[in-house]
Amino acid sequence: MTAPNPLFDDRLVDLLLESVADLPSLASWPAFADQSYDSYRLVLDAARRLARGPLFEAYRPMDQEPPRYEGGRVHAHPAMRRLYPLLVETGLLAAARPPEVGGLGLPLTLTSVASAYLMAGNLGAYGYLGLTAGAAHLLEAFGGDELRARLMAPLYEGRWTGTMALTEPQAGSSLADVATRARRGGPGGSYLIEGSKVFISGGDHDLAENIVHMVLARVEGAPPGVKGVSLFAVPRLRPEGGGLAPNDVQCTGLFHKMGWRGIASVALSFGEGGDCRGYLVGEENRGVAYMFQMMNEARLMVGFNGVATASVAYHEALAYARSRPQGRPPGARDPRSPQVPIVEHADVRRMLLRQKAIVEGGLGLLVAAARFADASAHAPDAAERERAALLLDLLTPVAKSFPAEYGFEANALAVQVHGGYGYTSEYLPEAWLRDQKLNSIHEGTTGIQGLDLLGRKVMAGGGAAFRALEAEVSGGLARARRAGVESAWCDEVARALGVAAALTAELGGRGLAGDVDGMLRHSADYLALLSVLLVAWQLVAQAGAALERGDALPPAFVEGKLRAARYWLSTELPRVELWAALCRGDDSYALMPADAF
Amino acid sequence: MTAPNPLFDDRLVDLLLESVADLPSLASWPAFADQSYDSYRLVLDAARRLARGPLFEAYRPMDQEPPRYEGGRVHAHPAMRRLYPLLVETGLLAAARPPEVGGLGLPLTLTSVASAYLMAGNLGAYGYLGLTAGAAHLLEAFGGDELRARLMAPLYEGRWTGTMALTEPQAGSSLADVATRARRGGPGGSYLIEGSKVFISGGDHDLAENIVHMVLARVEGAPPGVKGVSLFAVPRLRPEGGGLAPNDVQCTGLFHKMGWRGIASVALSFGEGGDCRGYLVGEENRGVAYMFQMMNEARLMVGFNGVATASVAYHEALAYARSRPQGRPPGARDPRSPQVPIVEHADVRRMLLRQKAIVEGGLGLLVAAARFADASAHAPDAAERERAALLLDLLTPVAKSFPAEYGFEANALAVQVHGGYGYTSEYLPEAWLRDQKLNSIHEGTTGIQGLDLLGRKVMAGGGAAFRALEAEVSGGLARARRAGVESAWCDEVARALGVAAALTAELGGRGLAGDVDGMLRHSADYLALLSVLLVAWQLVAQAGAALERGDALPPAFVEGKLRAARYWLSTELPRVELWAALCRGDDSYALMPADAF
């Protein structure tokens, strides 16, 4: 009997929250003045228990029996009827929101990491919670008092759940092509909604009494493109006369997914009977701008999902590698000697260390992003809030896509470490590998993240965003140096940062000169470059933090942090120069004619 | 209605066979003197038709309903009852074997490529054929006349099927630990077999009247380790009195696999009733050496499977990208303009070109390996046969693992190109992605291939193998130069070859000096380095061959070949230096202590 899967390494999580993100220092901000780090530990502990127990236990059955579509409704796995109330009871739905809307006003950094344990335990189950929180936050930020009272409150309480309903069959990455229609003049100031949406996660289920869909639609006469898209709250059942009445929203089917099988992704039809009422959120034609709040939150959530999915698999592979005997070291070929645990083989250590670096570097990125989110909302100084907002925006596409892309590789390695058992459903790694594949696609494909990063984020504020990032990385390196991380390592990261800065300036110059096409042609390579650089920054920062607290930590843990950083610096960081050369190239693959494939 | 999936690009396949591998020249060898290239075309055409029609049509249903285990037997998908005879009718089971055993004596290069179409159409269905051919070939090579008559003949005729039964629960990668027992003194010179095997592909089914398992077992009193392992043919039903009698072989269950779901992988129990007769193949204690013939064939087959699985997905993604409208180019943001097919987006072209380079470079490697296999068996000159055998041995671990590792990435990109549809089972790419994951594990994991390559293959013949490879690559570059491939490209490959040669010598020196551990520590990186270098060689050779025949080929195809080579040279080849530095490092990740994870 081996120990249960820890989902994350608690020592690392504690180090990240206490030292790298320095949550104890938040007590000096008015928003968190009455909070203690000890109370934060309780939140973490509760999430860890739920995740490692009931959530993890239900993961495999929920993967094997995805929700069914019957009688026009989606029926969730029976285990979800027990889990959903437990998820709501964590209080994480509104924990980071202010008391005015029923929240606890906790730092997002904390609640995100606590949620990451839930994702690692059972990401489909967590999905219901995450989407509901995002929908409620949209109503909180942009809905009027009436919408907040009628629709937002039940969401934050977990009595209802929420969705984001953007995608249509002809409009996935291209929101400019949203065609769902909204007609003014419905009863009580509502709009009449008509259209179809696809790939709506949690779009139907039997776990709560109602579902509020946050729907992008086009008001009659609106301008073409994204500037004519509005945001509506469209409940499955509309509050009417103290009760709930059908609102002409039909679930027309579900998609059979390779992963994330605990939560259904469905097709919805609005207004087939001409009586689907939508409630405008904010002003007409500003829907896409509003929705970006939820999308950005969802992107960080997908990033956390990716890290969580890679992490749980890494820990499963590590436990397997420590217990599975197979083969002997190269130097000891006597077949009568006992077989050694496979963790003794060089290549298995390579695979485990790669997973560790991806998981821990990725988690570092996400914690950094969440920390900037807290600072952008609550830092006492306005300039600091603005700076943090720029950094959050810049980190978001990286934090969304790195765990999905490199995490997929990590998940494949977890399968590989398990050998033949790895590809069987008698073991769990193949399920996590399937889960991970969705994360590079939903909430904006990796290609979209690359365009967002290079076309908008690093250039934001006339280059202020990238300069702020440079200062952050340099500050992190200086702290690591002081903590005793080898100077040569810090120099390597600093040099790569210089390469990235020069490249960014050069590409920005192309864009300013009107060659947007040339600027963006290699945005995927630029995204890879910046991801690897920022993960190096995080891993070096973690190594430094581990050295700072050295006496209080197990020496093997500190050694592991140093090795993970060193691994990344020697295997991935050198690729930065190669990607930079690709980004500069002007006769690249992107010019491959479509008929030459 | 789009055109059916072509599985492979026929133009490329024809170019590889006619020009790069130069099959027409084989007519000058006595073994192939009475054959014409026109007859080869007929073999290819028949395979293409079967693969694109009945095999491809049955692929999805077979993935969705894997074989069932009921009443102690495995029941294949109903479609297989129709497909199996069609597969046998292709004649590919024995096509490359000599007429004495019922074959056609065709070049393996041809029959392998024809088989690759079948794999691309439906790799589970093809699996029955491939394993049967391998088992029959083992009996042909090492079995006596009686075994050949009684067991081999029905296999080559397809009346029975075959398996390779190596793995046991405690002995996967480590064949030294095989524990299945064989007791001398069974009836008619047989041995009594007792033990369990796991992960036996095609180990049970209801498609043919009998199954012959090629079983590794240990004769009582044999030395420990691989030197005490013998090879036995163990039929499920034994020929007795003109009929077939039960042979005490039980199928005890099947593994639920994420991919390759058309053919069952089962657990077998031999001799539970004390009456399982095995027939010794060759001499006692030489079983592992014999089995390496089947393993090496199976490794090339897995390589072809990997390329086939990446290729069919690439063509699916390409067709999708050409037909799916979404978004607009960066320079044309008018939302009223029509959406463009996604192949117009730079990042989609990157994903497609990467797939193309992996598929076509990987296929080139496998065709080269098969061509060396033909030369090692049939070249008129003995020295040439020996040289070809060294090259075949050297290429095998690369040709086995590159398609599995890079092919997995290609398959993930095919999913990515399909966006949200890609991760649903309403489309096919997610199934091929699941299939591909097995190829890095079965028939020797990638880690095992790396050890084999660096520890044995490149050092074979006192370095003669690597020197032969250098000559091959240099010869290929010279031909490409003459054909008009840019000299700078050839120089880049030649430089990388020099890096690989120097590294190989250095690592070999470490081994000779007794530091086997240090030599092999980075065998995974060495494998990656050599793989990328050899794919570069192949892609440049293909570009050269396309230029040579330029006038007879569509200009867009030639352009595509040039672009694929160029892509690989600019994105992957520069990594050779980085891997070489890792291989030379002496304080690497492999020294990560097991308790520091």
Q: pLDDT tens digits for B289-342? A: 999 888 899 999 999 999 999 999 999 999 999 999 999 987 777 889 999 999
Residue B208 pLDDT grade (very low, low, confident, very high; cuts 50, 70, 90):
very high
* Inter-chain residue contact B346 with A521, CB threshold 8 Å: yes
Longest distance between any two alpha carbons in chain A, whole Å = 85
Residue A161 DSSP SS3: strand
pLDDT for res A293 = 87
Q: Give A281-313 as a DSSP string.
A: -SSTT-HHHHHHHHHHHHHHHHHHHHHHHHHHH
In sequence order, what are the beta bridge partners of B75?
A: B68
Burial class (CB in 10 A: 0-12, 13-18, 19+), B301: buried
B428-441 mean pLDDT: 98
Cβ atoms of residues B406 and B307 within 8 Å: no
Catalytic residue chosen out of the listed positions B443, B472, B548, B572 = B443
Buried b (16+ CB within 10 A) or exposed e, A287-315: bbebbeebbbbbbbbbbbbbbbbbbbbbb
Q: pLDDT tens digits for B566-595? A: 999 999 999 999 999 999 987 767 789 999
Cβ atoms of residues A195 and A213 within 8 Å: no
Give the chain B residue whose CA is nearest to the CA of A12.
Answer: B597
Amino acid at residue number A445: T
- Range name among A232-246, A358-372, A552-566, B579-593 with the lowest pLDDT average: B579-593
pLDDT for res A329 = 85
Q: Is the pLDDT of residue A110 over 50?
A: yes
Supply the pTM of this predicted model. 0.98
* Inter-chain residue contact A434 with B434, CB threshold 8 Å: yes
Residue A443 pLDDT grade (very low, low, confident, very high; cuts 50, 70, 90):
very high
* Inter-chain residue contact B330 with A517, CB threshold 8 Å: yes
Give the whole-angstrom CA distance, residue B281 versus residue B291. 10
Q: pLDDT tens digits for A254-282? A: 999 999 999 999 999 999 999 999 999 99
A166-176 mean pLDDT: 93
Residue B2 pLDDT grade (very low, low, confident, very high; cuts 50, 70, 90):
low
**Structure tokens of A106?**
């906790």
Q: pLDDT tens digits for B453-473? A: 999 999 988 899 999 999 999
**Structure tokens of B537?**
């060689």
* Inter-chain residue contact A517 with B328, CB threshold 8 Å: no
List chain A residues with CB under 8 Å of B266: none
List chain B residues with CB under 8 Å of A288: none
Give the whole-angstrom CA distance, residue B222 versus residue B219. 5
Residue B208 DSSP SS3: coil
B209/chain A closest Cα distance in angstroms: 28
List chain B residues with CB under 8 Å of A350: 524, 589-590
Give the whole-angstrom CA distance, residue B97 versus residue B178. 31
Amino acid at residue number A365: L
Q: Could you say which of B437, B520, B585 has the minimum Cβ distance to residue A570?
A: B585
Give the whole-angstrom CA distance, residue A189 versus residue B585. 70
Determine what percent of chain A is predicted with pLDDT higher than 70.
Answer: 99
Give the chain B residue whose CA is nearest to the CA of A323.
Answer: B594
Q: Could you say which of A170, A348, A589 has the minimum Cβ distance to residue B350?
A: A589
- Number of cross-chain residue pairs from A and B with Cβ atoms under 8 Å apart: 267
Q: Is the pLDDT of residue B1 over 60?
A: no
How far, rounded to the nearest angstrom, does the alpha carbon of residue A263 sit from its chain's CA centroid?
A: 16
Cβ atoms of residues A533 and A573 within 8 Å: yes
Q: Is the pLDDT of residue A1 over 60?
A: no
**Structure tokens of A94?**
């509104």
Give the chain A residue whose CA is nearest to the CA of B224.
Answer: A335
Cβ atoms of residues A121 and A7 within 8 Å: yes
Give the chain B residue whose CA is nearest to the CA of A455.
Answer: B330
Q: pLDDT tens digits for A315-367? A: 999 999 999 999 998 777 788 999 999 999 999 999 999 999 999 999 999 99
Nearest one of B529, B543, B540, B539 to B573, comparing CA atoms = B529
B595/chain A closest Cα distance in angstroms: 6
Cβ atoms of residues B234 and B278 within 8 Å: yes
**Other CB atoms closer than 10 Å to residue A279's CB: what's the count?**
25
Q: Could you say which of A329, A433, A441 has the minimum Cβ distance to residue B422?
A: A441
* Inter-chain residue contact A255 with B424, CB threshold 8 Å: yes
DSSP state of A336: T
Residue A65's region, left for phi above 0, alpha for psi from -120 to 50, else beta, is: beta
**Structure tokens of A291?**
């929705």
Give the whole-angstrom CA distance, residue B82 versus residue B122. 14
**Structure tokens of A461?**
């504020």
pLDDT for res B285 = 98
pLDDT for res B157 = 97
How far, rounded to the nearest angstrom, does the alpha carbon of residue B227 sit from its chain's CA centroid?
A: 27
Q: Reply yes or no on whether A426 is catalytic.
A: no
Best residue in A168, A258, A356 for a mutation probing chain B (most B CBs within 10 Å): A258
Catalytic residue chosen out of the listed positions A405, A443, A492, A572 = A443
Determine what percent of chain B is predicted with pLDDT higher than 70.
Answer: 99
Residue with tokens 């074989």: B67
* Inter-chain residue contact A575 with B575, CB threshold 8 Å: yes
Q: pLDDT tens digits for A176-223? A: 999 999 999 999 999 999 999 999 999 999 999 999 999 999 999 999
Cβ atoms of residues B121 and B171 within 8 Å: no
* Inter-chain residue contact B517 with A420, CB threshold 8 Å: no
Nearest one of B139, B171, B176 to B155, comparing CA atoms = B139
Cβ atoms of residues A521 and A588 within 8 Å: yes
In sequence order, what are the beta bridge partners of B514?
A: none
Determine what percent of chain A is predicted with pLDDT higher than 90.
Answer: 95
Residue A2 pLDDT grade (very low, low, confident, very high; cuts 50, 70, 90):
low
Q: pLDDT tens digits for B112-136? A: 999 999 999 999 999 999 999 999 9
Instruction: Look at A585 and B268; give whichever has higher pLDDT.
Output: B268
Residue A380 DSSP SS3: coil
B76-104 mean pLDDT: 97
Q: pLDDT tens digits for A362-421? A: 999 999 999 999 999 999 999 999 999 999 999 999 999 999 999 999 999 999 999 999
Residue A331 DSSP SS3: coil
A56-69 mean pLDDT: 98
List chain A residues with CB under 8 Å of B574: 578, 581
Q: pLDDT tens digits for B492-535? A: 999 999 999 999 999 999 999 999 999 999 999 999 999 999 99
